[in-house]
Structure 1
C-alpha cells in the first residue's frame, strides 16, 4: 500500500488535476481536509483557509489515512506542508506527521502566484493577495524539500502542472515504491 502526497498551495490545482489522474490510474484520491473533516466530524478552518487545532487535525489525518490503508491499494493524498494558523501565521507541519503517514513520495505542484490568485478569486469568490500566496508557496516548497530530505523521500516538483505531467510523476513513484531497487 502506497501513499503519494500531492502538495502545493491552495489553488495550485491539486484537486483539479489530482482527482482525474487518480481515477485514470486506478488510485484512490483523498484531500487531507476531507479526511480530517470526516474523522473529526467538522471542519476547523474557514473560507480564509486559516486553521485552528493544527496538531489535532494532523493526528486525525494520520488516523484517517491509516484506516484507508486497510481498504485502498494506493492513495493520492492532496494536502499541505505549511498552513496558516487561526492568527494567520505560517505554520510548518511537523516532520513527525509526514513520517507517520508512511509516504512513498511527494509531488509538489507550483504555479505563478498571479495565476493562483486569479483561480482563488473565481473559486473562493474573494480577493487574494499575490504577496501572501508567494510567501506561502515559498514556505511550502522549502518545507517540502526539508521533509523529503530528512525522511529520504523522493520529491518531484512540477511547475505549471498538467494531468500528463502529474500522471507521469504518480506512475513513476508507484513503480519505484512497488519495485524498490536493490
Structure 2
C-alpha cells in the first residue's frame, strides 16, 4: 500500500517525508525518482514542465506495484497536479491514485513566499507568485477530490516539522504503517 505525500514543488515533501519514512521503517521514494528509474530518463525540465504525462504515470504505476508486491508500505512523494507549461496545470485522474494503492494522502503546505524563495534558490525562477498560489489551490482541491473518491484519509499539514508528520502518520490505521514481510 501507498501513503501519498502531496504538495507543490518546494513545499518540503522530500525534506520531511524521507526522514519520517526512515524512522517508521517505510520505503520512501519520489514519484520522479521512480519514473526516471523505470523509463531510464526524465521527461520534464528544470521548470517542472512535464511532457508525456500518460507514459510517466504508467511507469510510476509499474514501479509502485513492484514495491507493493514485495509487501512494502511505500511513502510516495509526488503531486496530484502537474505543470504542463507555465500557468497550465493538469490534474491527474483519480484512477492513478487508486492504482497506486493509496491508503492516505498527506498534503503539505507552506507560504507562497517560502516556496518561491526555495524554488529560486534551486535555480527555478519561472514561477510567479500568482501561479504558485493557483497551483497550491489546485493541489489542495484535487487532494480533497481524490481522497473523497477513494474514501481514504486526507491529512493537511501547514509548515509541519518532521515530528508533526510522524505524529500524523501514527494516526493512520495500523495496517497502513506496518511493514509487511516479503
Task: Give me the TM-score of the superposition, normalised by structure 1.
Answer: 0.92
Flag the 1:105–1:90 CA change in 2: closer, same or farther, 3 A: same
1:119 positional shift: 1.0
1:135 paired residue number: 134
Q: Distance in 2 between matches of 1:17 and 1:67?
A: 24
**1:107-145 superposed Cα distances (whole Å, 9 cap, x missing partner):** 000111111101111123535311111110000000010
Structure 1 window deviating more from structure 2 (71-80 vs 34-43): it is 71-80
1:42 paired residue number: 41
1:112 paired residue number: 111
Cα RMSD between the aligned structures? 1.7
Flag the 1:18–1:127 CA change in 2: closer, same or farther, 3 A: same
Q: Distance in 2 between matches of 1:32 and 1:120?
A: 18
Matches within 5 A, 1:139-178: 139-173=138-172, 175=174, 177=176
Is structure 2 residue 12 aligned with structure 1 residue 13?
yes
Q: Work out whether residues 28 and 72 of structure 1, in 8 Å CA contact, stay in contact via their aligned partners in 2.
A: no
Q: Distance in 1 between matches of 2:173 and 2:3?
A: 8
Flag the 1:178–1:16 CA change in 2: closer, same or farther, 3 A: closer
Q: Distance in 1 between matches of 2:127 and 2:164?
A: 27
2:77 paired residue number: 78
Aligned length: 178
Flag the 1:55–1:138 CA change in 2: closer, same or farther, 3 A: same
Segments of structure 2 that go 5 or more residues without pairing to the other structure are none
User: SS at the partner of 1:83?
Assistant: strand
User: SS at the partner of 1:132?
Assistant: helix
Segments of structure 1 that go 5 or more residues without pairing to the other structure are none
User: SS at the partner of 2:172?
Assistant: helix
